[in-house]
Structure formats: structure tokens, C-alpha cells
Chain A
């Protein structure tokens, strides 16, 4: 099914934000926004949900905590208890204090790396991936809104053009996609 995509370019983040508000209030669905830096407050306007990566980090951290605890219990208590100055070596709990630093470090290690890897995979940003921003200037000082015709079935192209015209853009570009 053929579709048409409209790229509307702005030279200021505030102008884009005000424009997005105006468009959304008229029922236009904005598909995507490309910007050189995070535009604070754009997410609720265009309907981007808050990411749940924080929960993932917590889960990775819990995994690290568990692995470190089980591992050290196995190494130091079950498999090969060491006699260090006659200190109790038969119980994990009585030795626990000595294991706190590594438990902490390993928890942080797993949480940080787990989250970072998930982040890269979710963003599809990996070495060798092609850049997908519509214009090279969106990583410098321009801000682009992407609107698709198919996602706005109630409006014709002419209707959309008329509403977009009121938002103070600097350039507009249309592309047919298959």
C-alpha cells in the first residue's frame, strides 16, 4: 500500500513544540520527531510513553545480586571453605560482611551493562546500523516532524498542508513510500 510521508522542518525547539500542540489539537497524528537534543515536554504531546528501562535496570541488578550471593556461597562455603584465622567458614551468613563489597560491585555491573545493552538493542543503535534521520541537519540545529498520510485517514493532503502552514516551519519535504 502506498503512503506519503511529510517532513516538516523547524529551526527552533519551542516553535516545533507549539506547532505540535496545535497539530495534535486539530487531530493530526505526528508519527515521529527528530531532534539534535531532547526537547523537554514533547513526549506527552506526540504520545511517546515514558520508557520502562528503569524497571529493566532494577531486574538486571537483582540478577547480579543473586548470582553474586549464590556464587560466593558456593566458592567460599560449599566448595572450598578457607581457614582464615580460624574464622567461621561453614556459614554464608556469618561471613557475609566480607562479601558485601563484591556483592555491591557485581550488582552495579549487571544493572549498568544489562540496561546499556537493552538500550542499544531497543534503539536499534548498534555498530554498522544505517542512520535514519531524514535530513543531516537534524543532528545540528534543525528539528523535523514526520507525519504520514495513512495515519491520518480523516484528512486529505490538502487539509494537512493547510494546518501545517500555520505552525511556522521553515522547510517542508514530501516523499512517497511503498
Chain B
């Protein structure tokens, strides 16, 4: 076992044994769901179904039911797409990048963060598909031998790169998540008393037996998958930013976009992780495993990525003036002072100012304050995409074509609906899946558990 410095805060509080870890994680799954779960699930389901209804109406009637017009051809749909993909970046960052850096605190949060990633990417993928208007021809984006139109998809187009990037990201994240889940499902299987639950978890655990050779392979597969997923995290949002950066629209045609989008994605993803985990740790009594130190670490990530995003905003503002291109300069002047000034300043306040408050130790260790900021950041990051997309489009080269975007109730319904569906998935996950990588947490118990660290013989070598 690995020892660590005494001044490091323990990652697992209280006196926990291996068996306690199993108990604490499995009990919420085995017990009856609390009334609150049913209430939240009901609300999320109603909102989600309303969203599905709006999507049905959209598919039946056409994309015209959105508030788009001739000037603004992309608005809430792509804003929501980028917002959800961005949120989906934290999970893989936590489980892959932090694994490569040997950050032990990731073990308490990686499972739920990755679940969040997968569900967020589901929601993201929905938007380009429904924007096609004809959902059933979605497979036309794949390079299949065919007899219609131009023979192949265009491999020079960032939109096609996106198809590959998002589907690779989703499927690799799913595999990474599931390989970690298999041993934990085996734990639940071996504890299950009811026959149906035993059968279900038996299928889900793929007959895992925990042999030494299996664990040897498990560790290598996790490491290699982390190594593969790390460049993937950076590539996905870079490619999403190419959708804009390779165009010639003033305000989009910017080389700073890839790093700026990646930092923004991690920023919003961690905010969403905070929002979800602060509730989950309380609801499922996991305070000993996800505590102030974990929240503080995540707030530091929010602070760093928020500062990168802030620097990028100011850099692109400066460059728009310094470039001497009048269209570029106008696009940014219009963002800050035009009819969408409120969106621009909402974005600036939420994303540039709020993360700077995390420099104060007292604030970044306050759970209530963190929860508040995590919501603020998520609102801010939605506005960022809205500002980039809508304000760049609404005043183009031809003043007679200038226009405004007003969302229709279908725009709003689809967006709110995806939030509902996301919570439906997440609540089902929290109810039936081990929300903590319980067997991985056991490996750090002796090195980072409070009662072990405080024991008198901790610093003696065996």
C-alpha cells in the first residue's frame, strides 16, 4: 500500500473498513427508494416527456417551428448541442486525465461524473439529429456505399469530423465506464438477496470473479483506456469549435477557438459535477467519501479553467480591434453594446468574475457557495454559446438582412426537455448503479483513510 504525507487531508473520513465501503455504497441500491426520489423522478419524467412531445411535433411539422429565420439559421439548437457536449467533458477528464496524474481523489467522483458525461452526450447528440428535420436519415452521415446524391460524405468538413469525434467519444466513454462498473456489479450481485435483482446484477457483472489475472488486466486496460481517452477529451471540443472556426463569419473565424472551447467545456463540466454531487452526497449519505476537500479540488479546476476562459474572452476582444478588420471589430463591438448586450454581460459576469471568487479559501470550501456558483457557471456557459452563435449571425454583411432571434415555445420545450431527460437518466443511475467506484475506493482506504492516517503506526514501514 502507498503511504502519503501526514499533512494531506484524508480522502475518506471517519473509521471505515472495507466492509463499510461496500455497505455505504450498496445500501441505497438495496433499500427502498426514498419518497424524494420518486418525486424528483416524476418531475424529471414529466419535463422529459414534454420535451419528447416537442421533438415529435418538430419532426412532424419541420424545423420551421423553431424561431430560426433566414439570417439566423443556427440558434438554440446548436447552443444546446455545444452546451451539453461541454458538460460532457468533465467525466472523462476526471476518470482519464486524473488517472494518468495519479490523483486519488478522482476515485470518489469518477463513476458519477462519467455517468453524467454519457447522459450529457446523449442529449448533445440529439440536437444535430433533430436539426436534420428527418431523423430517420441520420445514417446518411456515415460513409456507406449508396446510390443517392453525391456518393460519399465530405471528409473535409468539420461537421463530419464532429460525427466521428462525438460518436467515438460517446462509445469510448461508455466502454471505459462499463469496464470499471463490472467488478462493482459483481459486489452487488454477491450481496443480492432477491432473485430478480440477483439475476439482473449477475448479467450486468458478466460473471466477474476477481481473479489475480483479471485484476492485472483490469489495471492495464484502465491505464491504456485513460491514455486513449485523454487526447480524445481535447480533440472532441476542438473539433466542435472547428464547426465555427473554419467558417468565414466574423466572430467565428478565430484561431483561439479550440483551446478556448476545451477550457470552457471542462469549466462547465466541473460545474455540473458539483451541482449533481453536492445533492447526491447528501441524499445518499456519502459525506465521508465526497467531502469538502473533493469540492475544493474541483473548485480549483473551475478557477483555473475559468481563468483560461476569461483570458480567451479578453484576447479575442483585443484581437478583433488589433487585427484592423472592420467586420471583425464590429462583430465584437456589437456583442458588447448591441441589442444582445445583456447576453454578453451575463456571460462575462458568470464566467469571468464568478470563478475568481474561488481564490478565497473560505469560499471554495463552502458547500453552499459552491452550489450557487456551479449553477451560475452553467448559466454563463449557456450564454457563452448563445453569444458566439446568435450575436455573430444576427447582423451580417447586409444591413437589410439584419434580424433578431426570438425562441419559439418549441425551442424552449426541447431545451428544457433535454434537462428533464438528463435527470431521468441520472436518477435511474443513482438508483440502480453503484454511484461510487467502491472497489477502487478500497485500494486507497489504508493510504488515505482518516482512521488509518491517524493511527500511531501509519508512518512505520512494514
Contacts and interface: CB of A to CB of B under 8 A. Distances in A.
Contact of B207 (A57, A95, A131): A131
For the complex, would chain B's binding face be called helix, strand, loop or mixed by DSSP majority? Answer: helix
A158 interface: no
B156 A119 contact: no
A9 B260 CA distance: 54
B289 to A, nearest CB: 15
Contacts of A102: 155, 160-161, 164
A34 interface: yes
A109 B172 contact: yes
B239 A101 contact: yes
A116 to B, nearest CB: 5
Contacts of A141: 17-19, 22, 442
Q: Of residues B22, B190, B212, B219, which shows the largest number of chain A Cβ atoms within 10 Å of its Cβ? A: B212
Contacts of B220: 50-51, 53-54
Contacts of B218: 38, 119
Contact of B191 (A53, A105, A140): A140
B212 A140 contact: no
Contacts of A123: 208, 213-214, 217
B443 A37 contact: yes
Contacts of B70: none
Interface stretch (A74-82, A147-155, A159-167, A169-177): A74-82
Contact of B154 (A40, A82, A104): A82
Contacts of A139: 183, 186-187, 189-190, 208, 210, 439
Contacts of B207: 124-126, 128-132
Interface residues on A, range: 35 or more
A128 B202 CA distance: 7
B129 interface: no
A140 B187 contact: yes
Q: Of residues B172, B202, B215, which shows the largest number of chain A Cβ atoms within 10 Å of its Cβ? A: B215
Interface stretch (B40-48, B228-236, B341-349, B415-423): B228-236
B217 A122 contact: yes
Contact of B206 (A126, A133, A138): A126
Contacts of A95: 156
Given A75-B143, A113-B175, A48 B212 contact: yes
Interface string B179-210: 10011001101110000000000111111111
B147 interface: no
A120 B242 CA distance: 36
Contacts of A113: 171-172, 175
Contact of B152 (A36, A37, A48, A80): A80
B216 interface: yes
Contacts of A108: 168, 172, 228-229, 231-232
B5 interface: no
Interface of A: 13-14, 32-40, 42-43, 46, 48, 50-51, 53-54, 57, 71-72, 75-76, 79-80, 82, 84, 95, 98-99, 101-102, 104-106, 108-109, 111-113, 115-116, 119-120, 122-133, 136-141
Interface of B: 1-2, 17-19, 22, 143, 150-156, 158, 160-161, 164-165, 168, 171-172, 175-176, 179, 182-183, 186-187, 189-191, 202-221, 224-225, 228-229, 231-232, 235, 239, 242, 439-440, 442-443, 462
15 contacts: A37-B439, A38-B219, A48-B212, A51-B216, A105-B232, A112-B228, A119-B179, A122-B217, A125-B182, A125-B206, A133-B209, A139-B183, A139-B186, A139-B190, A139-B210
